[in-house]
Protein backbone atom coordinates (compact mmCIF):
# COMPACT_ATOMS: atom_id res chain seq x y z
CA UNK A 1 0.00 0.00 0.00
CA UNK A 2 2.90 2.33 0.67
CA UNK A 3 3.25 4.79 -2.18
CA UNK A 4 -0.33 4.29 -3.37
CA UNK A 5 -2.20 6.57 -0.97
CA UNK A 6 -2.39 10.31 -0.58
CA UNK A 7 -3.16 11.65 -4.04
CA UNK A 8 -6.85 10.85 -4.44
CA UNK A 9 -8.87 7.90 -5.72
CA UNK A 10 -8.02 8.24 -9.41
CA UNK A 11 -4.29 8.35 -8.69
CA UNK A 12 -4.66 5.39 -6.30
CA UNK A 13 -6.31 3.38 -9.08
CA UNK A 14 -3.69 4.44 -11.64
CA UNK A 15 -0.82 3.44 -9.35
CA UNK A 16 -2.43 0.13 -8.37
CA UNK A 17 -3.14 -0.64 -12.04
CA UNK A 18 0.50 -0.06 -12.98
CA UNK A 19 1.76 -2.00 -9.96
CA UNK A 20 -0.40 -4.94 -11.12
CA UNK A 21 1.27 -4.82 -14.53
CA UNK A 22 -1.24 -2.72 -16.45
CA UNK A 23 0.04 -0.48 -19.20
CA UNK A 24 -1.12 3.07 -19.77
CA UNK A 25 -4.03 4.28 -17.66
CA UNK A 26 -7.13 2.45 -16.40
CA UNK A 27 -10.07 2.80 -18.80
CA UNK A 28 -13.35 4.60 -18.03
CA UNK A 29 -15.17 1.33 -17.24
CA UNK A 30 -12.55 0.37 -14.68
CA UNK A 31 -12.69 3.85 -13.14
CA UNK A 32 -16.52 3.71 -12.85
CA UNK A 33 -16.33 0.27 -11.26
CA UNK A 34 -13.69 1.42 -8.80
CA UNK A 35 -15.67 4.55 -7.89
CA UNK A 36 -18.86 2.53 -7.33
CA UNK A 37 -17.05 0.05 -5.08
CA UNK A 38 -15.24 2.83 -3.23
CA UNK A 39 -18.50 4.75 -2.62
CA UNK A 40 -20.33 1.65 -1.36
CA UNK A 41 -17.54 0.67 1.03
CA UNK A 42 -16.25 4.08 2.20
CA UNK A 43 -16.00 4.10 5.97
CA UNK A 44 -16.95 0.45 6.45
CA UNK A 45 -13.56 -1.05 7.16
CA UNK A 46 -11.57 2.03 8.04
CA UNK A 47 -11.29 3.34 11.58
CA UNK A 48 -10.66 6.86 12.85
CA UNK A 49 -7.34 7.44 14.52
CA UNK A 50 -7.47 6.49 18.19
CA UNK A 51 -8.64 9.44 20.27
CA UNK A 52 -9.76 11.44 17.19
CA UNK A 53 -13.37 11.91 18.31
CA UNK A 54 -12.30 12.82 21.86
CA UNK A 55 -9.65 15.20 20.58
CA UNK A 56 -12.08 16.93 18.21
CA UNK A 57 -14.62 17.20 21.04
CA UNK A 58 -11.95 18.77 23.30
CA UNK A 59 -10.87 21.24 20.62
CA UNK A 60 -14.50 22.19 20.03
CA UNK A 61 -15.02 22.78 23.77
CA UNK A 62 -11.98 25.08 23.77
CA UNK A 63 -13.45 27.13 20.93
CA UNK A 64 -10.84 25.99 18.41
CA UNK A 65 -12.12 25.85 14.83
CA UNK A 66 -11.55 22.45 13.23
CA UNK A 67 -11.45 21.41 9.60
CA UNK A 68 -10.50 18.52 7.37
CA UNK A 69 -8.57 19.20 4.18
CA UNK A 70 -8.47 16.08 2.04
CA UNK A 71 -7.77 15.04 -1.52
CA UNK A 72 -10.81 12.75 -1.41
CA UNK A 73 -13.80 13.80 -3.47
CA UNK A 74 -16.69 15.17 -1.41
CA UNK A 75 -18.88 12.08 -1.87
CA UNK A 76 -16.18 9.81 -0.46
CA UNK A 77 -14.97 12.13 2.32
CA UNK A 78 -18.53 12.76 3.54
CA UNK A 79 -19.23 9.03 3.66
CA UNK A 80 -16.15 8.34 5.77
CA UNK A 81 -16.65 11.28 8.12
CA UNK A 82 -20.32 10.41 8.66
CA UNK A 83 -19.59 6.69 9.10
CA UNK A 84 -17.20 7.49 11.94
CA UNK A 85 -19.32 10.20 13.54
CA UNK A 86 -16.75 12.93 12.91
CA UNK A 87 -18.74 15.27 10.65
CA UNK A 88 -20.43 17.04 13.55
CA UNK A 89 -17.09 18.00 15.12
CA UNK A 90 -15.91 19.93 12.06
CA UNK A 91 -16.39 23.58 11.18
CA UNK A 92 -15.23 23.04 7.58
CA UNK A 93 -14.46 20.20 5.19
CA UNK A 94 -12.42 21.01 2.08
CA UNK A 95 -12.29 18.18 -0.45
CA UNK A 96 -10.20 17.61 -3.54
CA UNK A 97 -13.08 18.40 -5.89
CA UNK A 98 -13.69 21.77 -4.20
CA UNK A 99 -10.33 23.31 -5.10
CA UNK A 100 -8.38 23.59 -8.35
CA UNK A 101 -5.39 21.72 -6.92
CA UNK A 102 -5.30 19.12 -4.16
CA UNK A 103 -2.70 18.72 -1.47
CA UNK A 104 0.22 19.37 -1.34
CA UNK A 105 -0.98 22.57 -3.01
CA UNK A 106 -1.89 25.03 -0.23
CA UNK A 107 -5.30 26.02 -1.67
CA UNK A 108 -7.35 23.89 0.74
CA UNK A 109 -5.53 25.24 3.78
CA UNK A 110 -5.70 28.79 2.40
CA UNK A 111 -9.47 28.36 2.06
CA UNK A 112 -9.68 27.50 5.78
CA UNK A 113 -7.44 30.43 6.73
CA UNK A 114 -9.77 32.78 4.86
CA UNK A 115 -12.95 31.14 6.13
CA UNK A 116 -11.87 31.38 9.75
CA UNK A 117 -10.48 34.89 9.23
CA UNK A 118 -7.12 34.01 10.67
CA UNK A 119 -3.50 33.91 9.55
CA UNK A 120 -1.25 30.97 8.66
CA UNK A 121 0.72 31.64 11.87
CA UNK A 122 -2.37 30.68 13.88
CA UNK A 123 -3.05 27.42 12.01
CA UNK A 124 -1.89 24.00 13.10
CA UNK A 125 -2.15 21.19 10.54
CA UNK A 126 -2.31 17.72 12.11
CA UNK A 127 -0.86 15.07 9.83
CA UNK A 128 2.05 12.75 9.37
CA UNK A 129 2.15 11.82 5.69
CA UNK A 130 4.62 13.26 3.21
CA UNK A 131 1.67 15.04 1.58
CA UNK A 132 0.70 16.65 4.91
CA UNK A 133 4.27 17.82 5.55
CA UNK A 134 4.52 19.33 2.07
CA UNK A 135 1.08 20.93 2.41
CA UNK A 136 1.99 22.57 5.71
CA UNK A 137 5.25 23.89 4.24
CA UNK A 138 3.50 25.17 1.11
CA UNK A 139 0.78 26.89 3.15
CA UNK A 140 3.20 28.37 5.69
CA UNK A 141 1.43 26.73 8.64
CA UNK A 142 2.76 24.68 11.55
CA UNK A 143 2.61 20.90 11.39
CA UNK A 144 1.71 18.63 14.28
CA UNK A 145 2.10 14.83 14.01
CA UNK A 146 -1.37 13.93 15.32
CA UNK A 147 -4.74 15.26 16.37
CA UNK A 148 -3.93 14.29 19.97
CA UNK A 149 -0.75 16.37 19.90
CA UNK A 150 -2.68 19.26 18.36
CA UNK A 151 -5.19 19.07 21.20
CA UNK A 152 -2.38 19.20 23.79
CA UNK A 153 -1.09 22.32 22.03
CA UNK A 154 -4.32 24.16 22.86
CA UNK A 155 -4.74 22.94 26.44
CA UNK A 156 -3.78 25.36 29.23
CA UNK A 157 -0.25 24.83 30.46
CA UNK A 158 0.01 23.78 34.11
What's the mean pLDDT in 108-132? 95
Per-residue pLDDT band for 1 (boundaries 50, 70, 90) equals low
Contact call for residues 131 and 103 (beta carbons, < 8 A):
yes
User: What pLDDT does residue 22 have?
Assistant: 87
User: What pLDDT does residue 8 have?
Assistant: 67
In this predicted structure, the answer to whether residue 28 has a pLDDT above a threshold of 70 is: yes
| Position with higher pLDDT, 119 vs 18 | 119
Per-residue pLDDT band for 5 (boundaries 50, 70, 90) equals low
What's the mean pLDDT in 31-54? 86
What's the mean pLDDT in 143-156? 81
What's the mean pLDDT in 75-81? 92
Average pLDDT, the chain: 88
User: What pLDDT does residue 155 have?
Assistant: 74
In this predicted structure, the answer to whether residue 4 has a pLDDT above a threshold of 80 is: no
Amino acid sequence: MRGLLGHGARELLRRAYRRAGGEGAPDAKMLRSFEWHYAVHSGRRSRPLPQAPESLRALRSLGVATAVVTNKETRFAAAVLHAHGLWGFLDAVVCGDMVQQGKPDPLGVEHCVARFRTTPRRVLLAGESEIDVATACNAGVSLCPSIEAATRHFLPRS
